[in-house]
Each structure stands twice: as C-alpha cells, then as structure tokens.
C-alpha cells in the first residue's frame, strides 16, 4: 500500500522532539523482525504512547499499524492521519472485525501495535492485560515483541494537564526478546507470560531513567512502589471502575 502520510508524520514527530530536546533512547530494536509480521505489545502510560511505540520500531525500518478506538478515526484532525497511516479502527461493540483485520495484516507481513492494558495505567505499572495480542499472533503465526515506554506520561497522561511543549524530558523505549505463541497453547498462560515480560521491561527502563522528581510535588510521575505519589495498582483499579 502507498505510504504517503506515515513517513512525513514520523519526520514531523522526530523534528518536534528534537526541537524540544526530548532525549529519546531506543534499546532492543534488534528484536523487531526486519521483515514479516509481528505484534508489538506495549505498556500504556500516556496518550502519546502510539507515537513513541512507533518510533521504537524505526531503527528496524518498520511502520507499525496500531489498533485504536474508532472514535479517533472520526476526529476531524486525527481521523485523516489515522486512515492515511493505515491504522486499524476498533469498534468496541463489534471487536471481531478489527481482530480479523489485524490477523490479515499480520499474515500479509505487517507489524501491528497493541496496548494490551486497553487503557492508560494510572499506577504506571502494567495492569492486567487482555489476551488479544497473543491470540492474534498465534493465529497469524507471527512473534510477539514486548515493549516498554517510560517518560511519555510526563508529557500527557490521564488526570494531568498536557505539557506537550515541556523541554528536556527523557523518553526511554525498550523492546524485549520476541516469543512465538502457538495455537495449541493456553491463551491465559501466554497472556500471563506476556504481562511478566512487559513488567520486567518496564522495571528496567524505570531503573535506567536518568531523572528523579525535582520536588516533592513532582513525585506524581513515579509509581508508589518507587516512592512516588501515583495511585497504587489497587487504587488505580478502583478509580477506573468509577471512571474518574
């Protein structure tokens, strides 16, 4: 398919982050297959994660097709971009169609990006995840590449004001070793394995992050178990249940 929109968007994003001096570091890109289909399963802490997850595949020269909620595709500004980049709309009331589309894309040799937590994690840990990533990979016969992002939430996350022009924010992106789900394997077991891999990667990028909060009231972006003031996973789950 023609790629008239995706490359210019990538260049614009790279330019913006260069101007803002947001230090991007990508590790593990060698784990992303240079050819053929693959699922990238990434943690979700920011409204901008699809941009950075996509940039994480750039060293491998792959364009990632993200599964995203249908509402984004109907937005006057974002919609044309999402369609032009050939992302996959997800109608949550009829998810089977988007699942089939993702499997078809994978079989055609594309990279499909998913956020298995489905929504942003307010605790900045990996929430319970859905099984779609491993199921579609097993059905299409392609590997799953776990990925972790850290720092993106400091720019724009749930419950916090947008700071898209904030300068000098380090962003770490790490891809982990791929694994190949098999159709005969238990999807629940595979999903637990994927979550463990994503959690381990997230812990690594959190440990490698070059900054700490400058003041006590800036500790919101650290998870509770690292001494921050973000909600615990239990408190975050309760907030999600109340849709706060």
3-state SS string over 149-162?
A: EECHHHCCCCCCCC
Could you report the per-residue pLDDT of 90-136, keeping only the tens digit for each? 987 778 999 999 999 999 999 999 999 999 999 999 999 999 999 99
**Cα Rg for the chain, rounded, in angstroms?**
17
What predicted TM-score, i.e. pTM, was given to this entire model? Answer: 0.96
**pLDDT number for residue 178:** 98
Contact 193, 133 (CB under 8 A): no
Cα 140 to Cα 14, 52, 58, 79: the distances in Å are 32, 25, 23, 27
Counting DSSP H helices and E strands in the chain, the numbers are 8, 7
Compute, in degrees rounded to 10, the torsion defined by CA atoms 203, 209, 211, 212.
10
Contact 27, 174 (CB under 8 A): yes
Q: Please state, in angstroms and rounded to a whole number, the distance separating the CA atoms of residues 82 and 110.
A: 16
Q: Please state, in angstroms and rounded to a whole number, the distance separating the CA atoms of residues 51 and 176.
A: 18
Q: Average pLDDT, whole number, for the chain?
A: 96
Q: Please state, in angstroms and rounded to a whole number, the distance separating the CA atoms of residues 181 and 133.
A: 10
**pLDDT number for residue 93:** 76
**pLDDT number for residue 39:** 99
Q: Residue 162 contacts by C-beta under 8 Å, 6 or more apart in sequence? A: 155, 156
Please tell me the number of Cα atoms within 13 Å of 72 on its side-chain side: 19
Best CA proximity match to 63, nearest among 103, 109, 97, 31 = 109
Confidence at 158, pLDDT banded by 50, 70, 90: very high
Contact 138, 34 (CB under 8 A): no
| Cα torsion angle, 12, 17, 21, 26, sign | negative
Domains along the chain with CATH numbers:
6-217 (3.40.1130.10)
**Where does the chain show beta strands of DSSP type E?**
24-27, 38-42, 64-69, 88-90, 111-114, 144-150, 171-175
Best CA proximity match to 83, nearest among 94, 70, 95 = 70
Is the pLDDT assigned to residue 233 strictly greater than 90? yes
């Amino acid at each position: 398919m023609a790629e008239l929109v995706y490359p210019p968007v990538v260049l614009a994003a790279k330019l913006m982050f260069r101007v803002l001096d947001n230090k991007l570091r990508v590790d593990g890109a060698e784990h992303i297959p240079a050819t053929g289909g693959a699922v990238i399963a990434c943690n979700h802490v920011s409204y901008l994660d699809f941009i950075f997850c996509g940039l994480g595949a750039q060293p491998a020269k792959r364009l990632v097709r993200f599964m995203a909620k249908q509402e984004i595709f109907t937005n006057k500004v974002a919609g044309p971009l999402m369609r032009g980049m050939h992302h996959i709309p997800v109608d949550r009331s009829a998810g089977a169609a988007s699942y089939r589309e993702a499997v078809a894309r994978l079989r055609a040799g594309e990279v499909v990006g998913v956020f298995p937590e489905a929504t942003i994690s307010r605790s900045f840990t990996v929430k319970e995840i859905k099984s779609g990533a491993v199921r579609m990979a097993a059905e299409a016969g392609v590997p799953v590449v776990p990925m972790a992002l850290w720092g993106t939430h400091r720019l724009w996350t749930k419950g916090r004001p947008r700071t898209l022009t904030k300068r000098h924010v380090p962003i770490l992106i790490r891809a982990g070793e791929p694994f190949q789900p098999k159709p005969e394997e238990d999807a629940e077991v595979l999903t637990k394995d994927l979550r463990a891999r994503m959690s381990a990667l997230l812990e690594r990028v959190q440990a490698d992050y070059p900054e700490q909060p400058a003041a006590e009231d800036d500790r919101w972006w650290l998870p509770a178990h690292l001494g921050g003031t973000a909600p615990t996973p239990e408190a975050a789950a309760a907030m999600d249940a109340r849709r706060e």
